[in-house]
Structure 1
Amino acid sequence: MTIKKQLKTAKRIFLASPHMSDEGYEQEYVKEAFDSNWIAPLGSNVDGFENELAKMVGVNAAAALSSGTAAIHLALKAAGVGEGDIVFCPTLTFSATANPIIYQNAIPVFIDSDYKTWNMDPDALEQAFEKYPDVKAVLVVHLYGLSADMDRIMEICSKYQVTVIEDAAESLGSFYKGRPTGTIGDYGVYSFNGNKIITTSGGGMLISNNEQAITKSRFWATQSRDQARHYQHSELGFNYRMSNVVAGIGRGQLKVLKKRVQRKKEIFKFYRTKLSEIEDITFMPVNEWDSPNYWLSCATIEGDISSIDVMNELEQYNIESRPVWKPMHLQPYFENYDFVGNEVSEKLFMTGICLPSDTKMTDEDLTQVVSIIKGLWEK
């Protein structure tokens, strides 16, 4: 049996997986939900999670929902996006950013990335506004925890008086010039999916300083049930509210967010330091105004050895990695929608890799990953 086959049966090193607190904070809140028999949607954990997260990031209100996708959907609805409206959206993102545009029967126009941030290119955004001046909303993503160039983006959007929605699903704990990502635009969205920096197993949060809009979003999220003795519905509603049990996990996870960010940062710095001697590898950009949460440690690889080669080699050792997001304008479902930009997002996709960034990884795990990658260039 070869060494690789032996190592294939070793413990799996994940890209990113749930990491509950050592202190058991989550279990305390979940136990409270069980002890009170309040395990259905709503309850003290839901209220507490909303209030605690809103206070942490410094906004007036938050709505705990079933997913980050639901939060984007309700943000678009709150912004008045409807049938035939145009919404600008980064092309380099997960489909959950773009899908809710379709839910509202609106039209996505995809905007390219720049190399400086890996996020929405402000120059391409300006070009898009020149082509489509009547835009209802702009979705901005903070990819892999990296902040978009929000000053320029907000300046452009302000000129056209358009609503800005920040998809901060991957960037809870990141800061742009000292401000938490998700709090700069009109609405912000966080995700607590199983692979995020903190998790509730599944869930999301919509935040805003517009308390009235958040109150309305909660209403929509609970099937738009009117205030009446009987069941009455004057608007279309959705089953989007977070359960009291799940919210309890979130409250516990909030207590360890800073620890998780610190570990993610250590992982990124380890990779960048140990692999800096390989000229073919360039790590994701961290700008002077950016304080990322380093959700995933990402890089581009150009040369005789490709990012796919590295991913395949790591998989031989039971180590998970993955490509950078495939741009939306290249996806079969979205290929007929307009795209503004050059080929930056395509290049990042073709050369990009997300390295294992699990906060439960040991230094020995990190050393193994680096050793395997270096070995490809030493053959």
Structure 2
Amino acid sequence: MNDNFLPFALPCIGEEEINEVVDTLKSGWLTTGPKTKRFQNDFAQFVGVDHALAVNSCTAGLHLALEAIGIQAGDKVITSPYTFTATAEVIRYLGADPVFVDIDPQTFNIDPYQLAATLDIVDGVKAIIPVHFAGQACDMDPILESAAEFSVKVVEDAAHALPTLYKGRMVGSLGDITVYSFYVTKTLATGEGGMIATANPEYAERMSILRLHGMSRDVFDRNSSWHYDVVAPGFKYNMTDMAAALGIHQLQKAESFQQRRAEIANLYTNNLNDLPLTIPYQADYSSHAWHLYVIQLDLATIDRNTFIERMAAAGIGTSVHFIPLHLQTYWRDRYDLKAEDFPVALDVYNRAVSLPIYPCMSDDDVDRVITQVRTILK
């Protein structure tokens, strides 16, 4: 990679984060402790929920959420095939089975009407995991109505969706439990990490215990007393104070980061909309975190691999989000799935390319991407 290469994504880390991490190192408290608790409290207030639990990944958070709502072996959980494998793999952790529902061709989120039809014909569904793709909210009202009608829980995969509003309400305050990702490329980055948000105190207590070996008290809580009790077979899912130190200041920048991402998205849209491609659709019921800016190529004009190779040759990184799960060997073979089973997800995937978008991109960086896309497609 040359020095002039523009990566697909970069975290935007400032002196505030660096100083907070240094303070953590000097404090001697590196694992779950005061910084993690501060981050949790700040996050709960930001999203508008009573409980926020920091974990070491979004995957861990989704696993804890499904366990907390009582998912067991043999149960079924509906989700989208157009997502990263973690969304579905956590269902298998508990011996349950995913049921995939195709996506809306505009938003790339789960189609709420196909979801309702699936609930009507599939027995044993206990939960729904809607995925807020790219940072745009799913159409949650019909999803929540279907969940209520069929008495199933809703665990939102908000790995892309911070901060995102649905009809004026923050994603995280809608379903039973919501889980976020703070992976290095996400809108809030702690390197690795995640957060669980819920208004339900029983779920919060259960997940808090399970995230650290099923112990009744963590190390920080035991600072003045040695005693603890193991009340469940838990997991090692806690967040460290070093990660939380980053998160504290990343959260304070979340809105300004989103504003910059939106500016970049607008520049792309305004300068690419006359080309043989489809620009991202934005629903009127949702704001957009713009974790991803996904264009869809006109394959009669150019092959996707050729486009990506020509962007790379010009020193610009791109990516593809996502290879649908029903095309992946494990999911395809286990559930006897065929490519045409989810035609919208297949079509979107075949034409999708994600362009670079992150807050510390300069206007010159954005212009460079626009110029190269125009050069290739013109």
**After TM superposition, is the score higher than 0.5?**
yes
The number of residues matched between the two structures is: 367
Deviations 1:201-230 (A, max 9, x none): 110001100122112211101101246966
Task: Compute the displacement of 1:299 (Å).
Answer: 1.2
Per-residue CA deviation, residues 284-330 of structure 1 (Å, 9 max, x unaligned), is: 21011111011111111113213332211111122110112011111
Secondary structure, in 3 states, of the residue corresponding to 2:54? Answer: strand
2:10 counterpart of 1:36? no
Contact 1:62 1:206 in 2 (8 A): yes
Aligned counterpart in structure 1 of residue 139 of structure 2, from 144, 149, 167: 149
Aligned to 2:359, the other structure's residue is in SS state coil
**Offset of 1:231 from its aligned partner?**
6.5
Partner of 2:50: 60
Q: 2:119 maps to which residue? A: 129
Q: Which residue in 1 is equivalent to 2:270? A: 273
The residue that corresponds to 1:17 in the other structure is 10
Alignment partners' CA distance in 2, 1:263 and 1:290? 17
Tell me if structure 2 keeps the 8 A contact 1:109–1:337: no
How is 1:177-326 mapped onto 2 (pairs within 5 angstroms)?
A: 177-226=167-216, 232-278=229-275, 280-302=276-298, 303-326=300-323
When residues 166 and 247 of structure 1 are mapped into structure 2, their CA distance, relative to the original with a 3 A threshold, is same
Distance 1:119 1:341, change over 3 A: farther
Q: Distance in 2 between matches of 1:125 and 1:14?
A: 37
TM-score w.r.t. the length of structure 2 is: 0.93
1:330 has 2:327 as partner: yes
Show the 5 A alignment for 1:50-129. 50-129=40-119
Partner of 1:5: none
Task: Give the aligned residue type for 1:118.
Answer: F
Distance 2:308 2:377 in 1: 14
The aligned runs of 1:346-365 (5 Å cut-off) are 346-365=346-365
Distance 1:306 1:131 in 2: 39
Contact 1:300 1:307 survives alignment (8 Å): no
Sequence identity percentage: 31
Q: Distance in 1 between matches of 2:61 and 2:168?
A: 24
Partner residue of 1:3? none
Decide which moves more: 367-376 or 74-83: 367-376
Conserved 8 A contact 1:172-1:197: yes
SS at match of 1:18: coil
Question: For 1:60-116, what per-residue CA distance to the aligned partner results, in whole angstroms no more than 9, with x for missing partners?
Answer: 001100000000000000110011110111110011111111111111111110113
Distance in 1 separating the partners of 2:229 and 2:202: 21
**Aligned residues of 2:301 and 2:377 also touching (Cα < 8 A):** no
Query: What is the letter of the counterpart of residue 335 of structure 2?
Result: Y
Q: Is the 8 A contact 1:110 1:338 kept in 2?
A: no
- Per-residue displacement from partner, 1:16-63 (whole Å, max 9, x unpaired)? 111113xx22133323322321112x2111110000000001000011
Residues 118/244 of structure 1: CA separation in 2 closer, same or farther (3 Å cut): same
TM superposition score normalised by structure 1: 0.93
Letter matched to residue 285 of structure 1: Y
RMSD: 1.8
